[in-house]
Every structure is written in structure tokens, then in C-alpha cells.
């Protein structure tokens, strides 16, 4: 017989990093403005945010949130299933369905709950989920809550997906292929046309998590399907509001009967308090801003293109990212922590990604860029990144870069080793 808390008392991984002075997490942000944050009393350039369209400080968006508080108060104090269903929740669902060209939409309190609730309620005991190995943790938790089986396929590898479908599909009744539209660490875009083809061929339903694609991909930011000019290709599209839509919450959109079923069966929806009024109003206003002010999306892609081109020319391995998420392969975990600390000291806020999120020896700095970055912001970031890349040997040791790239290929499924392989991002 043992003590349940014994593992808590012996857990020292984070403490060891804290003792070195290189711990990069939970830094308290005291204020934000545009592309900058204030932490520990100093202004720092933010290159690690998901605020892709830079709308968190848009005057119209802030005003809408304040109006909602005046009308509804600060919270719903209950589940939408009971006393927390506001008229603006339903208005948002109508507007989102229209924006995505879908029949219906259901809004959850968070994106995490949207994935958990939808995936867990749809799967029966004789069903199967086919899940990309780089899918977000919320998808993984959704598959764990499901009573059916889950089979993983190599990241964005359509040959491997076809292999597992051919070998296993006949063992199950229902099947669902689940993948991110934009993968949050590598910046990859899902090979959606091929997934759709395989789904049809093997009688599977198809589910796309557009958390990092909504507001980013497509001519109006409508997501991965619109990037490929293939609206209504997936059976269900999920997304979040905590990124381009400057708020918090999530949704799933699809056919009316399917959304109706999820609405009445998804326990994380039924038993969670509803999105706060200010958050809902923020998303509604962001939708209007996106449709009426296309310059935000244009600026985002202008900035992303500049950073992709410049970082690849420097010699960084960016995993051939085609989105505003641009990872920089660094090497071992401690090196990534030290690199991040140097960035912080030079006035740049970014965060590392280390094992187990990536393989041993394949730590990276996940940088991401926003419409609100100015040219001066980006030039400053590039100058610092070039100096530190040379100081840490990341840009000068080609054999080391090749070794890291080899490790990355195992996890991320990419053979990209440098600037010569770069594929320019689509600019909308």
C-alpha cells in the first residue's frame, strides 16, 4: 500500500530546470499591447502567440465585449443545457455556420471540450478513429474518452494512412479519420484532398480540427477546406476562438442532424458552464471584422512570408512550415531552454517545445507571427535570431543540423534540411 501523493513529492524535472535559471514557462504577463507584452517590468516583443490576426486589442472587439457585460453580466453561471443558453450563443452558431457554409454549428466553452465532447459521443464500441500522430492533445484526450478503438498513422503521411485503412477498416463498423488542418507545432497543412479521397474509398467519416487554420487559411480565413477550395469536404469541422478570434471557446460544425445529436449527447458540453457573454460577443465582432477588414489577413500573410523567407535564408530548419507557425529546430532540451532565455533577455518572448512533445534531441522554438507585427518588429526579431543562431552554433554546424533533421524526419515526417527546400506560403 502506498501514498497517492508520493509521485508529487519526488517530481523534480521542472525543479531541476528552475534551479539553472532557464525555466521558460509560466512567465507572468503584466500587460499586452499590439505585438508586445510586459513581463518582469520590461516590454518584450511577442513571437509566440496564437493571436494571428492581432484582434485582441481591436477597438470594435473590445467595445463589443464591454456591451455584452453590460447586458448579460460577467458569466452564465450554468450549462447551456439548463440556464446558461444566451441568445448570443445561438446567434454566434448561426453566423459561424454561415461563415463556414455549413448547415449547423454548436459552441462549446473551450476548444478542448469541443474535441473531447464530439469525439467521445460519436464513437461506439465497434467503431474506430484513425488519428494523425501529431494531432493536438485535445484530440488525443477525445480518443481516450471514446469507447471505440484508435489507430494512429504517421504524421501527414497518406501512404501510411492508406496502409492502416487497408489493413484494419474491415474490422470495424463506423470509422472516423481525425486530423488537424494546421498542425500546431510544425506548421504543416493537412493533405486534405488526399484524406478526403481515402475517406470516401474506405467508407470513413472525416473530421478536421481547424484550431490553427480558422482566421488564417483561405481567402477569408475560413480554414483548411477553403485553402484547397474544397468547402464542405470534411463531415465535421472543429475550431477554437482562443487564437484568431481573440477570445476563448470552441465549436463543431456540420450537418444539422449530427450537430443535434452532439448537442444532446456530448457530456463535456452538457456538464460545462457556457461561454461567458463577453467571450461570445468578442467572437461575433471578430467575425464581422474579418469579413469587413481584409487587411488583417493580408498583413498576417505578408509577415509570415517575410519570416519564412528570412529564417530559411539564414539556415534555420523550419520544418518547411507553410503557415505563420514557424518552428526553429534547436537540438537538445537544455540548449532550447538556454536559447529561449537569451531571447528573453534580449526582449523577445518565445517558448521552447521539448520532449515528450518532440523526440529526444529534437527540441525546437515555436515561433508564430501576427498581423500586428510591424516591419521594425520583425527586423529586430530576425537580427536577434541570427546573432543567437551563430552564437549557439545552430547556423554554423551543418553536420549537427543534419543530425537533428534526421531525428525530425522520424517525428514530423519531413526531409527538409535547410533553405534550399523551402516552399513559399500561399499569400491570400
Is 171 in contact with 178 (CB distance < 8 Å)?
Answer: no
Is 348 in contact with 45 (CB distance < 8 Å)?
Answer: yes
- Domain borders along the chain are 105-271, 295-421
The pLDDT of residue 361: 87
List pLDDT tens digits, range 222-247: 999 999 999 999 999 999 999 999 99
Confidence class for position 286, pLDDT limits 50, 70, 90: very high
pTM of the predicted model as reported, rounded to 2 decimal places: 0.92
Q: Write down the architecture of domain 105-271 according to CATH.
A: 3-Layer(aba) Sandwich (3.40)
Percent of the chain exceeding pLDDT 70 equals 93
Task: Give which of 128, 214, 215, 111 is closest to 171, Cα–Cα.
Answer: 128
Nearest-angstrom CA–CA distance, 33 and 70: 24
The pLDDT of residue 360: 84
Weakest mean pLDDT among 56-60, 358-362, 384-388: 358-362
Percent of the chain exceeding pLDDT 90 equals 89
The 3 state secondary structure assigned to 208-237 is EECCCCCCCCCCCCCCHHHHCCCCCCCCEE
Q: Is the pLDDT of residue 421 over 80?
A: no
What DSSP character marks residue 245? T
DSSP per-residue letters across 87-150? HHHHHHHHHHHHHHT-SEEEEESSHHHHHHHHHHHH--TT-EEEEETT--HHHHHHHHH-SSEE
Q: Is the pLDDT of residue 427 over 50?
A: no
CATH class for the region spanning 295-421: alpha beta
Q: Is the pLDDT of residue 61 over 80?
A: yes
List pLDDT tens digits, range 74-108: 999 999 999 999 999 999 999 999 999 999 999 99
Nearest-angstrom CA–CA distance, 116 and 399: 42
Q: Is the pLDDT of residue 422 over 70?
A: no
Residue 81 DSSP SS3: coil
List pLDDT tens digits, range 112-138: 999 999 999 999 999 999 999 999 999
Amino acid at each position: 500500500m502506498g501514498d497517492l501523493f508520493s509521485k508529487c513529492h519526488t517530481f523534480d524535472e521542472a525543479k531541476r530546470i528552475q534551479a539553472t535559471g532557464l525555466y521558460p514557462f509560466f512567465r507572468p504577463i503584466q500587460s499586452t499591447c499590439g505585438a508586445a507584452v510586459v513581463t518582469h517590468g520590461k516590454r518584450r516583443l511577442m513571437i509566440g502567440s496564437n493571436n494571428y490576426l492581432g484582434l485582441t486589442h481591436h477597438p470594435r472587439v473590445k467595445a463589443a465585449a464591454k456591451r455584452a457585460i453590460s447586458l448579460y453580466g460577467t458569466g452564465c453561471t450554468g450549462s447551456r443545457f439548463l440556464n446558461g443558453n444566451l441568445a448570443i450563443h445561438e446567434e454566434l452558431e448561426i453566423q459561424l455556420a454561415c461563415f463556414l457554409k455549413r448547415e449547423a454549428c454548436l459552441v462549446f466553452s473551450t476548444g478542448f471540450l469541443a474535441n473531447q465532447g464530439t469525439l467521445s459521443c460519436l464513437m461506439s464500441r465497434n467503431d474506430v478513429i484513425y488519428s494523425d500522430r501529431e494531432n493536438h492533445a485535445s484530440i488525443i484526450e477525445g480518443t481516450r474518452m471514446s469507447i471505440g478503438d484508435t489507430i494512429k498513422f504517421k504524421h501527414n503521411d497518406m501512404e501510411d494512412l492508406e496502409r492502416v485503412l487497408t489493413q484494419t477498416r474491415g474490422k470495424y463498423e463506423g470509422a472516423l479519420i481525425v486530423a488537424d488542418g494546421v498542425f500546431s507545432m510544425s506548421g504543416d497543412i493537412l493533405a486534405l484532398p488526399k484524406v478526403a479521397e481515402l475517406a470516401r474509398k474506405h467508407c470513413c467519416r472525416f473530421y478536421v480540427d481547424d484550431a490553427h487554420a480558422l482566421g488564417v487559411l483561405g481567402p477569408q480565413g475560413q480554414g483548411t477546406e477553403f485553402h484547397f477550395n474544397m468547402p464542405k469536404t470534411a463531415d465535421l469541422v472543429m475550431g477554437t476562438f482562443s487564437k484568431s478570434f481573440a477570445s476563448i471557446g470552441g465549436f463543431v460544425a456540420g450537418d444539422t442532424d449530427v450537430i443535434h445529436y452532439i448537442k444532446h449527447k456530448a457530456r463535456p458540453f452538457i456538464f460545462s458552464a457556457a461561454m461567458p457573454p463577453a467571450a461570445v460577443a468578442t467572437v461575433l465582432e471578430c467575425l464581422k471584422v474579418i469579413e469587413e477588414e481584409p487587411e488583417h489577413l493580408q498583413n498576417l500573410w505578408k509577415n509570415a512570408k517575410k519570416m519564412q523567407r528570412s529564417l530559411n535564408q539564414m539556415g534555420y530548419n523550419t520544418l518547411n512550415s507553410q503557415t505563420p507557425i514557424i518552428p526553429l529546430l534547436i537540438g537538445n532540451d537544455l540548449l532550447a531552454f538556454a536559447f529561449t532565455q537569451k531571447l528573453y533577455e534580449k526582449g523577445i518572448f518565445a517558448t521552447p517545445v521539448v520532449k515528450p512533445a518532440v523526440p529526444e534531441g529534437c527540441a525546437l522554438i515555436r515561433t508564430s507571427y501576427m498581423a500586428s507585427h510591424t516591419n521594425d518588429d520583425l527586423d529586430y526579431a530576425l537580427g536577434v535570431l541570427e546573432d543567437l543562431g551563430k552564437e549557439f552554433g545552430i547556423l554554423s554546424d551543418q553536420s549537427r543540423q543534419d543530425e537533428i533533421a534526421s531525428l525530425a524526419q522520424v517525428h514530423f515526417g519531413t526531409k527538409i534540411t535547410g533553405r534550399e527546400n523551402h516552399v513559399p506560403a500561399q499569400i491570400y
